Protein backbone atom coordinates (compact mmCIF):
# COMPACT_ATOMS: atom_id res chain seq x y z
CA UNK A 1 0.00 0.00 0.00
CA UNK A 2 1.54 3.28 -1.14
CA UNK A 3 0.87 6.64 0.54
CA UNK A 4 0.26 8.41 -2.76
CA UNK A 5 0.22 7.53 -6.43
CA UNK A 6 0.35 10.30 -9.00
CA UNK A 7 -1.23 8.98 -12.19
CA UNK A 8 -0.55 10.22 -15.72
CA UNK A 9 2.02 12.84 -14.78
CA UNK A 10 3.51 14.70 -17.72
CA UNK A 11 7.29 15.11 -17.48
CA UNK A 12 9.17 18.07 -18.92
CA UNK A 13 10.14 15.94 -21.95
CA UNK A 14 6.38 15.39 -22.51
CA UNK A 15 6.48 11.68 -21.68
CA UNK A 16 3.76 10.46 -19.28
CA UNK A 17 4.23 8.25 -16.23
CA UNK A 18 2.87 7.21 -12.84
CA UNK A 19 4.82 7.93 -9.65
CA UNK A 20 4.38 6.09 -6.33
CA UNK A 21 5.35 7.60 -2.99
CA UNK A 22 5.86 5.81 0.32
CA UNK A 23 7.24 7.15 3.61
CA UNK A 24 8.38 10.40 2.03
CA UNK A 25 10.34 8.79 -0.80
CA UNK A 26 9.73 8.09 -4.48
CA UNK A 27 9.47 4.29 -4.59
CA UNK A 28 8.23 3.48 -8.09
CA UNK A 29 8.08 5.19 -11.47
CA UNK A 30 6.21 3.25 -14.12
CA UNK A 31 3.79 3.63 -17.01
CA UNK A 32 0.92 2.06 -15.12
CA UNK A 33 1.08 1.57 -11.34
CA UNK A 34 -1.91 -0.50 -10.26
CA UNK A 35 -1.09 -1.34 -6.62
CA UNK A 36 -3.29 0.05 -3.82
CA UNK A 37 -2.59 3.53 -2.53
CA UNK A 38 -4.01 5.69 0.27
CA UNK A 39 -4.46 8.54 -2.18
CA UNK A 40 -4.44 8.92 -5.92
CA UNK A 41 -3.87 12.14 -7.81
CA UNK A 42 -4.67 11.82 -11.52
CA UNK A 43 -3.10 14.52 -13.67
CA UNK A 44 -4.72 13.15 -16.88
CA UNK A 45 -1.50 13.75 -18.87
CA UNK A 46 -2.45 17.45 -18.73
CA UNK A 47 -0.29 18.75 -15.90
CA UNK A 48 3.48 18.61 -15.53
CA UNK A 49 5.43 17.13 -12.64
CA UNK A 50 9.08 17.75 -11.84
CA UNK A 51 11.25 17.24 -8.80
CA UNK A 52 10.30 19.88 -6.22
CA UNK A 53 11.63 23.27 -7.22
CA UNK A 54 14.52 24.65 -5.20
CA UNK A 55 15.02 28.42 -4.88
CA UNK A 56 18.73 28.89 -4.15
CA UNK A 57 18.49 32.55 -3.14
CA UNK A 58 15.61 33.93 -1.06
CA UNK A 59 15.06 35.98 2.11
CA UNK A 60 12.58 34.44 4.53
CA UNK A 61 13.53 35.32 8.09
CA UNK A 62 10.26 36.94 9.19
CA UNK A 63 11.98 39.11 11.81
CA UNK A 64 14.58 40.69 9.49
CA UNK A 65 13.92 44.43 9.50
CA UNK A 66 14.87 44.93 5.84
CA UNK A 67 14.49 41.70 3.82
CA UNK A 68 11.77 39.52 5.30
CA UNK A 69 9.13 37.04 4.18
CA UNK A 70 7.29 33.86 5.21
CA UNK A 71 8.87 30.61 3.98
CA UNK A 72 5.56 29.06 2.88
CA UNK A 73 4.47 32.12 0.88
CA UNK A 74 7.60 31.97 -1.27
CA UNK A 75 7.76 28.16 -0.86
CA UNK A 76 4.96 25.59 -1.13
CA UNK A 77 2.30 28.19 -1.90
CA UNK A 78 4.35 29.21 -4.94
CA UNK A 79 5.27 25.69 -6.08
CA UNK A 80 8.68 25.75 -4.41
CA UNK A 81 9.52 22.77 -2.20
CA UNK A 82 12.82 24.10 -0.83
CA UNK A 83 14.00 27.63 -0.15
CA UNK A 84 17.47 28.80 0.79
CA UNK A 85 17.67 31.94 2.87
CA UNK A 86 20.76 33.67 1.52
CA UNK A 87 22.36 35.45 4.44
CA UNK A 88 19.43 37.29 6.03
CA UNK A 89 20.63 35.73 9.25
CA UNK A 90 23.97 35.72 11.03
CA UNK A 91 25.13 33.74 14.04
CA UNK A 92 23.28 35.98 16.50
CA UNK A 93 19.81 35.15 15.11
CA UNK A 94 20.24 31.68 13.66
CA UNK A 95 18.66 29.92 16.69
CA UNK A 96 15.46 31.91 16.29
CA UNK A 97 15.44 31.43 12.52
CA UNK A 98 15.87 27.68 12.96
CA UNK A 99 12.85 27.52 15.30
CA UNK A 100 10.69 29.51 12.84
CA UNK A 101 11.85 27.43 9.89
CA UNK A 102 10.78 24.19 11.58
CA UNK A 103 7.17 25.43 11.59
CA UNK A 104 7.06 25.76 7.80
CA UNK A 105 5.77 23.11 5.40
CA UNK A 106 8.50 24.18 2.99
CA UNK A 107 12.05 22.84 3.38
CA UNK A 108 14.02 25.83 4.65
CA UNK A 109 17.82 26.11 4.62
CA UNK A 110 20.24 28.85 5.58
CA UNK A 111 23.37 30.27 4.00
CA UNK A 112 24.78 31.82 7.17
CA UNK A 113 26.00 35.39 6.82
CA UNK A 114 29.65 35.72 7.87
CA UNK A 115 28.59 38.87 9.72
CA UNK A 116 27.08 37.83 13.02
CA UNK A 117 24.41 40.54 12.72
CA UNK A 118 23.07 39.32 9.35
CA UNK A 119 20.86 41.74 7.43
CA UNK A 120 19.65 43.86 10.30
CA UNK A 121 21.19 46.75 8.39
CA UNK A 122 22.50 47.24 4.84
CA UNK A 123 26.20 47.50 5.72
CA UNK A 124 26.65 44.32 7.76
CA UNK A 125 30.34 44.06 6.78
CA UNK A 126 31.39 47.68 7.34
CA UNK A 127 32.79 46.71 10.75
CA UNK A 128 35.10 43.67 10.67
CA UNK A 129 34.41 43.20 14.40
CA UNK A 130 30.99 41.85 13.41
CA UNK A 131 32.73 38.74 12.05
CA UNK A 132 32.98 36.36 15.01
CA UNK A 133 34.66 33.19 13.75
CA UNK A 134 34.23 31.16 16.95
CA UNK A 135 30.50 31.90 17.14
CA UNK A 136 30.13 31.20 13.40
CA UNK A 137 31.86 27.80 13.71
CA UNK A 138 29.74 26.98 16.75
CA UNK A 139 26.50 27.53 14.79
CA UNK A 140 27.71 25.52 11.77
CA UNK A 141 28.33 22.60 14.11
CA UNK A 142 24.97 23.07 15.83
CA UNK A 143 22.87 23.04 12.62
CA UNK A 144 24.63 20.77 10.10
CA UNK A 145 21.45 19.98 8.12
CA UNK A 146 20.07 23.50 8.23
CA UNK A 147 23.08 25.69 7.49
CA UNK A 148 24.14 24.42 4.08
CA UNK A 149 26.28 27.33 2.93
CA UNK A 150 27.96 30.63 3.71
CA UNK A 151 26.96 34.08 2.44
CA UNK A 152 29.11 37.14 1.93
CA UNK A 153 27.87 40.33 0.30
CA UNK A 154 30.60 42.14 -1.61
CA UNK A 155 29.39 45.53 -2.72
CA UNK A 156 30.35 49.05 -1.77
CA UNK A 157 27.27 49.74 0.32
CA UNK A 158 27.85 46.56 2.37
CA UNK A 159 31.61 46.52 3.01
CA UNK A 160 32.23 50.26 3.45
CA UNK A 161 35.99 50.87 3.64
CA UNK A 162 36.85 47.18 3.97
CA UNK A 163 37.20 46.43 0.25
CA UNK A 164 38.03 42.80 -0.50
CA UNK A 165 38.91 41.90 3.13
CA UNK A 166 35.55 40.30 4.06
CA UNK A 167 35.85 37.91 1.08
CA UNK A 168 39.37 36.88 2.08
CA UNK A 169 38.04 36.24 5.56
CA UNK A 170 35.05 34.28 4.19
CA UNK A 171 37.32 32.03 2.08
CA UNK A 172 39.29 31.28 5.23
CA UNK A 173 36.14 30.59 7.29
CA UNK A 174 34.91 28.24 4.55
CA UNK A 175 37.98 25.97 4.83
CA UNK A 176 36.91 24.03 7.92
CA UNK A 177 33.43 23.06 6.70
CA UNK A 178 33.92 23.07 2.92
CA UNK A 179 30.40 24.48 2.54
CA UNK A 180 29.50 26.36 -0.64
CA UNK A 181 30.15 30.11 -0.43
CA UNK A 182 27.67 32.47 -2.10
CA UNK A 183 29.01 35.89 -3.08
CA UNK A 184 26.68 38.79 -3.77
CA UNK A 185 28.11 41.17 -6.37
CA UNK A 186 26.74 44.62 -7.05
CA UNK A 187 28.18 48.10 -7.02
CA UNK A 188 31.97 48.45 -7.01
CA UNK A 189 34.41 48.62 -5.33
CA UNK A 190 35.45 45.89 -4.75
CA UNK A 191 35.86 45.18 -8.46
CA UNK A 192 34.34 42.01 -9.91
CA UNK A 193 37.74 40.96 -11.35
CA UNK A 194 39.29 41.09 -7.90
CA UNK A 195 36.37 39.12 -6.43
CA UNK A 196 36.23 36.47 -9.17
CA UNK A 197 39.95 35.69 -9.01
CA UNK A 198 39.66 34.64 -5.35
CA UNK A 199 36.82 32.16 -5.94
CA UNK A 200 37.27 28.40 -6.26
CA UNK A 201 35.20 25.50 -7.63
CA UNK A 202 31.69 25.37 -6.15
CA UNK A 203 31.63 29.01 -5.00
CA UNK A 204 28.50 30.76 -6.22
CA UNK A 205 28.38 34.21 -7.83
CA UNK A 206 24.82 35.42 -7.27
CA UNK A 207 23.26 38.30 -9.23
CA UNK A 208 25.32 36.96 -12.17
CA UNK A 209 23.24 38.82 -14.78
CA UNK A 210 23.08 42.15 -12.96
CA UNK A 211 23.33 45.29 -15.07
CA UNK A 212 25.43 47.32 -12.62
CA UNK A 213 29.10 48.32 -13.09
CA UNK A 214 30.16 44.98 -11.59
CA UNK A 215 28.53 42.99 -14.38
CA UNK A 216 30.14 40.02 -16.14
CA UNK A 217 30.73 42.03 -19.34
CA UNK A 218 33.34 44.76 -19.72
CA UNK A 219 32.77 48.17 -21.32
CA UNK A 220 33.23 46.62 -24.79
CA UNK A 221 30.51 44.09 -23.89
CA UNK A 222 33.01 41.21 -23.84
CA UNK A 223 32.95 38.60 -21.10
CA UNK A 224 35.54 39.58 -18.50
CA UNK A 225 38.62 37.33 -18.53
CA UNK A 226 38.28 36.93 -14.75
CA UNK A 227 34.79 35.44 -15.24
CA UNK A 228 36.01 33.18 -18.07
CA UNK A 229 38.72 31.85 -15.77
CA UNK A 230 36.26 31.50 -12.86
CA UNK A 231 33.78 29.49 -14.96
CA UNK A 232 36.65 27.26 -16.18
CA UNK A 233 37.61 26.62 -12.51
CA UNK A 234 34.05 25.52 -11.69
CA UNK A 235 32.68 28.70 -10.12
CA UNK A 236 28.86 28.67 -10.24
CA UNK A 237 26.62 31.36 -11.75
CA UNK A 238 23.32 32.00 -9.94
CA UNK A 239 20.65 34.43 -11.10
CA UNK A 240 19.44 35.98 -7.78
CA UNK A 241 17.00 38.23 -9.69
CA UNK A 242 15.90 40.58 -6.91
CA UNK A 243 14.71 44.14 -7.17
CA UNK A 244 17.98 45.41 -8.65
CA UNK A 245 20.02 42.52 -9.97
CA UNK A 246 18.62 41.11 -13.22
CA UNK A 247 19.09 42.73 -16.62
CA UNK A 248 17.50 41.30 -19.78
CA UNK A 249 20.27 42.98 -21.83
CA UNK A 250 23.00 41.15 -19.88
CA UNK A 251 21.05 37.87 -20.00
CA UNK A 252 20.55 38.20 -23.77
CA UNK A 253 24.23 38.96 -24.36
CA UNK A 254 25.14 35.91 -22.26
CA UNK A 255 22.74 33.72 -24.24
CA UNK A 256 24.40 34.85 -27.51
CA UNK A 257 27.75 33.73 -26.09
CA UNK A 258 26.36 30.41 -24.77
CA UNK A 259 26.89 31.45 -21.14
CA UNK A 260 24.16 29.99 -18.95
CA UNK A 261 23.49 30.30 -15.22
CA UNK A 262 23.80 27.04 -13.29
CA UNK A 263 20.84 27.98 -11.09
CA UNK A 264 17.84 30.24 -11.57
CA UNK A 265 16.84 31.84 -8.27
CA UNK A 266 14.60 34.70 -7.24
CA UNK A 267 16.21 36.71 -4.39
CA UNK A 268 12.59 37.11 -3.35
CA UNK A 269 11.29 38.81 -0.21
CA UNK A 270 7.97 40.42 0.65
CA UNK A 271 8.48 43.71 -1.19
CA UNK A 272 9.67 42.38 -4.56
CA UNK A 273 7.14 39.51 -4.25
CA UNK A 274 4.18 41.86 -3.82
CA UNK A 275 5.31 44.80 -6.00
CA UNK A 276 7.54 43.00 -8.48
CA UNK A 277 9.63 42.66 -10.48
CA UNK A 278 10.18 39.22 -8.94
CA UNK A 279 6.67 38.10 -7.85
CA UNK A 280 7.65 34.40 -7.65
CA UNK A 281 10.28 31.87 -8.72
CA UNK A 282 7.85 30.73 -11.46
CA UNK A 283 7.75 34.29 -12.80
CA UNK A 284 11.55 34.43 -12.88
CA UNK A 285 11.63 31.04 -14.67
CA UNK A 286 9.17 32.39 -17.26
CA UNK A 287 11.64 35.17 -18.12
CA UNK A 288 14.02 32.49 -19.35
CA UNK A 289 11.37 31.19 -21.76
CA UNK A 290 11.39 34.56 -23.50
CA UNK A 291 15.20 34.46 -23.51
CA UNK A 292 14.91 31.30 -25.61
CA UNK A 293 16.01 28.76 -22.99
CA UNK A 294 14.62 25.23 -23.35
CA UNK A 295 12.01 24.10 -20.81
CA UNK A 296 14.38 21.31 -19.77
CA UNK A 297 17.22 23.75 -19.04
CA UNK A 298 14.94 25.97 -16.94
CA UNK A 299 13.61 23.05 -14.89
CA UNK A 300 17.13 21.63 -14.43
CA UNK A 301 18.21 25.04 -13.05
CA UNK A 302 15.71 24.78 -10.19
CA UNK A 303 16.01 21.03 -9.55
CA UNK A 304 19.02 18.86 -10.35
CA UNK A 305 21.54 21.71 -10.72
CA UNK A 306 20.42 23.41 -7.51
CA UNK A 307 20.47 20.15 -5.55
CA UNK A 308 24.01 19.33 -6.69
CA UNK A 309 25.40 22.81 -6.04
CA UNK A 310 23.76 23.01 -2.59
CA UNK A 311 24.82 19.43 -1.74
CA UNK A 312 21.18 18.38 -1.17
CA UNK A 313 21.87 14.75 -1.88
CA UNK A 314 18.38 13.25 -2.01
CA UNK A 315 16.69 16.07 -3.85
CA UNK A 316 16.42 17.44 -7.37
CA UNK A 317 15.57 14.26 -9.27
CA UNK A 318 12.46 12.23 -10.02
CA UNK A 319 14.14 8.92 -9.29
CA UNK A 320 13.50 5.96 -7.05
CA UNK A 321 14.97 6.54 -3.58
CA UNK A 322 14.90 10.33 -3.85
CA UNK A 323 12.84 12.54 -1.51
CA UNK A 324 9.21 12.80 -2.60
CA UNK A 325 9.38 16.57 -3.14
CA UNK A 326 7.41 17.35 -6.28
CA UNK A 327 6.10 20.40 -8.06
CA UNK A 328 2.97 20.10 -10.19
CA UNK A 329 2.64 22.86 -12.76
CA UNK A 330 1.28 23.98 -16.09
CA UNK A 331 3.07 25.66 -18.97
CA UNK A 332 0.29 27.95 -20.00
CA UNK A 333 0.03 29.35 -23.52
CA UNK A 334 -0.61 33.03 -22.94
CA UNK A 335 0.86 36.41 -23.85
CA UNK A 336 2.48 38.17 -20.91
CA UNK A 337 4.84 41.09 -20.38
CA UNK A 338 7.76 40.62 -18.03
CA UNK A 339 9.94 43.31 -16.47
CA UNK A 340 13.56 43.02 -15.38
CA UNK A 341 15.15 44.92 -12.48
CA UNK A 342 15.91 47.89 -14.71
CA UNK A 343 12.36 48.46 -15.94
CA UNK A 344 12.95 46.85 -19.34
CA UNK A 345 10.10 44.70 -20.66
CA UNK A 346 10.02 41.55 -22.79
CA UNK A 347 7.10 39.45 -24.04
CA UNK A 348 6.55 35.75 -23.51
CA UNK A 349 3.99 33.44 -25.10
CA UNK A 350 4.30 30.83 -22.37
CA UNK A 351 4.19 30.97 -18.60
CA UNK A 352 5.12 28.58 -15.80
CA UNK A 353 2.10 28.27 -13.50
CA UNK A 354 2.63 26.23 -10.31
CA UNK A 355 -0.45 24.25 -9.22
CA UNK A 356 0.66 22.25 -6.21
CA UNK A 357 3.68 21.33 -4.19
CA UNK A 358 4.32 18.09 -2.34
CA UNK A 359 7.01 18.00 0.32
CA UNK A 360 8.32 14.67 1.62
CA UNK A 361 5.23 13.03 0.11
CA UNK A 362 3.13 13.90 3.13
CA UNK A 363 -0.11 13.30 1.29
CA UNK A 364 -2.01 12.82 4.53
CA UNK A 365 -1.56 16.50 5.30
CA UNK A 366 -3.79 18.45 2.90
CA UNK A 367 -1.99 21.68 3.80
CA UNK A 368 0.95 20.38 1.82
CA UNK A 369 -1.14 20.46 -1.33
CA UNK A 370 -1.42 24.13 -2.08
CA UNK A 371 -3.64 24.09 -5.12
CA UNK A 372 -4.17 27.47 -6.69
CA UNK A 373 -7.47 28.65 -8.11
CA UNK A 374 -5.94 28.02 -11.51
CA UNK A 375 -5.41 24.39 -10.60
CA UNK A 376 -8.93 23.97 -9.23
CA UNK A 377 -10.34 25.32 -12.47
CA UNK A 378 -8.35 22.69 -14.30
CA UNK A 379 -9.98 20.03 -12.18
CA UNK A 380 -6.85 19.16 -10.22
CA UNK A 381 -8.15 17.30 -7.18
CA UNK A 382 -6.81 14.77 -4.76
CA UNK A 383 -9.06 11.75 -4.39
CA UNK A 384 -8.95 9.02 -1.79
Is 330 among the residues that bind Zn ion (CB under 5 A)?
Answer: no
Draw the binding track, 217-256, toward Zn ion (x: CB under 5 A; -: no contact).
----------------------------------------
Residue of 214, 291, 309 whose CA lies nearest to 254? 291
Residue of 226, 216, 152, 224 whose CA lies nearest to 184? 152
Tell me the closest approach of the beta carbon of residue 160 to Zn ion, in angstroms.
19
* Residues in 48-87 that interact with Zn ion by CB under 5 A: 86
Tell me the closest approach of the beta carbon of residue 315 to Zn ion, in angstroms.
21
**86/355 with CB nearer Zn ion:** 86
**50/78 with CB nearer Zn ion:** 78
Question: In angstroms, rounded to a whole number, what is the distance separating the alpha carbons of residues 156 and 163?
Answer: 8
**55/267 with CB nearer Zn ion:** 267
**204/318 with CB nearer Zn ion:** 204
Question: In angstroms, rounded to a whole number, what is the distance separating the alpha carbons of residues 17 and 49?
Answer: 10
Using alpha carbons only, how large is the chain's radius of gyration in Å? 20
Tell me the closest approach of the beta carbon of residue 58 to Zn ion, in angstroms.
8
- Residue 21 near residue 2, CB atoms below 8 Å: yes
Tell me the closest approach of the beta carbon of residue 24 to Zn ion, in angstroms.
30
Q: Quick one: how far is CA 300 from the chain centroid?
A: 12
Is 267 among the residues that bind Zn ion (CB under 5 A)?
Answer: yes
Q: What H or E segment, with its residue span, contains residue 148? A: strand 147-154
What is the four-CA torsion angle of 240, 244, 246, 249, rounded to 10 degrees?
A: -160
Tell me the closest approach of the beta carbon of residue 186 to Zn ion, in angstroms.
10
Question: Which residue's Cβ has the minimum distance to Zn ion?
Answer: 267
Total site size for Zn ion, rule CB under 5 A: 2
Question: In angstroms, rounded to a whole number, what is the distance separating the alpha carbons of residues 122 and 118?
Answer: 9
Site for Zn ion, rule CB under 5 A = 86, 267
Amino acid sequence: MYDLVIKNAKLINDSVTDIAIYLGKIVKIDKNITEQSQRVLDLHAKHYVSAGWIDSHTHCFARSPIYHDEPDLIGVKSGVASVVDAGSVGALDIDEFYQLAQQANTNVYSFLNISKIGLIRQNELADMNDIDVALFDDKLTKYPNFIIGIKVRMSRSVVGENGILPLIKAKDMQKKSGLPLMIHVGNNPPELDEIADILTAGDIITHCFNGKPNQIFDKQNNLRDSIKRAIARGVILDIGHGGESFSFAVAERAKCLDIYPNTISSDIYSKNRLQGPVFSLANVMTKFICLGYSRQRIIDSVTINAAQILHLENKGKLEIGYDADLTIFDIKQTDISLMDSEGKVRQSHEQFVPLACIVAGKAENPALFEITEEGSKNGLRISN
